[in-house]
């Protein structure tokens, strides 16, 4: 029997776990086509393939009953007016939820259902967020200077479906038009009935 209880130290102020099963690193190149302002994206990329976010993952077998957890760190920055964010996804097994706990920084979770309902929740340190089954989710760092650090836990058999979001993004974008974070419509987004 090798599936034993374990602990991990996730200590302030850095909140980087002392060990994990996988350290996922996402740079600008892995977000091609995801930011609304394509020229701004190309301009940034011509300087450097910047680090946008990292995930320190604790991974269990992909079976019903197990839980995966970890820490996501979204670094501060913008592509044009749009804040740095995660790719975002539906769970492949749509009827699976996720819990987030904000440990540091500030940001929002952008969410939507396959039917096109949307929701955006602010997150500050100490806040818990429950993402119900069926809601796609994307974390966005709305600070200009600080990392946005969130702990997550979700069913290990959930899987990740990035396809729909990659095609047209979320219905809402989080942008700074000069007065801080604002929710605006994504011009690329199509209602489910208008998609081919
Ligand atoms: C797991 C989950 C988070 C994200 C992480 C990175 O289901 O929602 O652990 O995987 O915040 O975001 P993505 O996976 O969208 O690149
Ligand atoms: Zn998820």
Q: How far is the C-alpha of 169 from the C-alpha of 158, rounded, in Å?
A: 21
Name the residue among 70, 149, 79, 72 with its Cα closest to residue 107: 149
Predicted pLDDT of residue 99 = 99
Predicted pLDDT of residue 75 = 98
Query: What spacing in Å lies between the alpha carbon of 194 and ligand 1's midpoint?
Result: 27
Alpha helix segments (H runs only) across 28-172 = 38-47, 163-168
Cβ of 157: how many Cβ atoms within 10 Å?
18
pLDDT digits (tens, 9 = 90+) for 162-194: 999 999 999 999 999 999 999 999 999 999 999
Predicted pLDDT of residue 2 = 79
Is 78 close to ligand 1, i.e. is its CB under 6 Å away?
A: no
Query: What spacing in Å lies between the alpha carbon of 88 and ligand 1's midpoint?
Result: 7
Q: Which residues of the chain have pLDDT under 70?
A: 1
Predicted pLDDT of residue 1 = 59
Q: Is 45 helix (H, G, I), strand (E, B) or coil?
A: helix
**Structural tokens at position 132:** 């119900």
Q: How far is the C-alpha of 94 from the C-alpha of 160, rounded, in Å?
A: 9
Is 55 close to ligand 1, i.e. is its CB under 6 Å away?
A: yes
Is 141 close to ligand 1, i.e. is its CB under 6 Å away?
A: no
The pick from 23, 55, 60, 62 for probing ligand 1's pocket by mutation, whose C-beta has the most ligand atoms within 8 angstroms, reads 55
Is 169 close to ligand 1, i.e. is its CB under 6 Å away?
A: no
Name the residue among 86, 83, 90 with its Cα closest to residue 72: 86
Predicted pLDDT of residue 196 = 80
The pick from 89, 100, 138 for probing ligand 1's pocket by mutation, whose C-beta has the most ligand atoms within 8 angstroms, reads 89
């Amino acid at each position: 029997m090798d599936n034993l209880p374990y602990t991990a130290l996730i200590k302030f102020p850095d909140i980087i776990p002392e060990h994990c099963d996988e350290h996922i690193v996402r740079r600008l190149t892995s977000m091609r086509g995801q930011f609304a302002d394509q020229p701004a994206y190309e301009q940034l990329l011509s300087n450097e393939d910047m680090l946008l976010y990292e995930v320190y993952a604790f991974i269990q077998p992909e079976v019903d009953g197990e839980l995966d957890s970890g820490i996501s760190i979204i670094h501060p920055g913008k592509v044009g007016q749009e804040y740095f964010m995660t790719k975002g996804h539906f769970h492949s097994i749509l009827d699976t939820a996720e819990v987030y706990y904000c440990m540091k920084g500030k940001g929002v979770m952008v969410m939507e259902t396959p039917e096109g309902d949307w929701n955006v929740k602010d997150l500050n340190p100490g806040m818990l967020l429950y993402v119900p089954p069926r809601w796609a989710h994307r974390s966005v760092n709305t600070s200009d200077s600080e990392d946005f650090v969130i702990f997550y836990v979700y069913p290990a058999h959930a899987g990740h479906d990035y396809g729909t979001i990659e095609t047209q993004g979320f219905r809402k974008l989080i942008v700074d038009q000069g007065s801080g974070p604002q929710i605006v419509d994504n011009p690329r987004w199509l209602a489910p009935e208008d998609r081919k």
